[in-house]
């Protein structure tokens, strides 16, 4: 298996939304409509649940094309097989008043979602995407990168934030834990 990891570009908007639309979400059917827009909107839970897949797909196209949505896609040949949503934390409207992230000076990157094709899970692809993100944030001059992995042993396929050992393997330090979700931070400078 030869995997190529590419930064999300405006030309990849359709590729991204097709990848999400074609994904098997039997383990969490309500995720099918997200198109990785949850963190890009600041709304109530009720407002979020009232949104349609078409609305989120259109927003994904807009956010990708205007550069608000960033991250990396993994490809096996021409087939998309993985995605990580990673960006300056200020580009995530849902996080704009996050007290934990507000405490940091300088530029902080955030990792909010991994979406690995079922046939490619448990093969280290999430780890490779995480490594790519960290290196990219380092090249861009970010001061640190944060993620919020969690463990859900009953449903490991739902661990869309990644898992702690992925972050620990790259030197991230656990700075907090709240309701089974951890905050990990890696200082880059």
156-175 pLDDT, tens digit per residue, is 566 677 888 999 999 999 99
Residue 155 has a pLDDT of 55
> 3-187: CATH homologous superfamily?
Gcn5-related N-acetyltransferase (GNAT) (3.40.630.30)
Cα torsion 25, 119, 132, 100 to 10°: value is 30
The answer to whether 110 and 147 have CB atoms below 8 angstroms apart is yes
% of residues, the chain, pLDDT over 90? 72
* DSSP state letter for 143: S
Strand 79-88 to 71-76 pairing: antiparallel
Residue 103 has a pLDDT of 94
- Report whether pLDDT(12) > 80: yes
Q: Residue 25, SS3?
A: coil
Containing 185, the helix (H) or strand (E) segment is: strand 181-187
pTM beyond cutoff 0.85: yes
179 vs 120, more confident: 120
Residue 120 has a pLDDT of 92
What percentage of the chain's residues is helix, strand, coil (to nearest 5)? 40, 25, 35
């Amino acid at each position: 298996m030869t995997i190529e990891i590419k930064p999300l570009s405006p030309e990849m908007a359709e590729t991204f939304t097709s990848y999400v639309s074609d994904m098997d979400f039997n383990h969490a059917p309500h995720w099918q409509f997200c198109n990785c827009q949850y963190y890009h909107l600041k709304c109530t839970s009720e407002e979020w649940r009232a949104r349609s897949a078409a609305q989120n797909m259109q927003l994904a196209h807009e956010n990708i094309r205007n550069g608000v949505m960033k991250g990396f896609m993994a490809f096996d040949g021409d087939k998309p097989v993985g995605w990580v949503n990673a960006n300056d934390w200020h580009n995530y409207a849902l996080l704009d008043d996050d007290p934990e992230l507000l405490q940091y000076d300088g530029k902080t990157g955030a990792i909010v979602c991994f979406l690995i094709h079922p046939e490619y899970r448990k093969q280290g692809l999430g780890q490779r995407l995480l490594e790519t993100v960290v290196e990219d944030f380092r090249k861009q001059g970010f001061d640190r990168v944060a993620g919020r992995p969690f463990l859900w042993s009953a449903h490991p396929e739902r661990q869309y934030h990644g898992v702690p050992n992925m972050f620990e393997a790259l030197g991230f330090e656990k700075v907090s834990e709240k309701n089974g979700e951890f905050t990990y931070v890696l200082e880059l400078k």
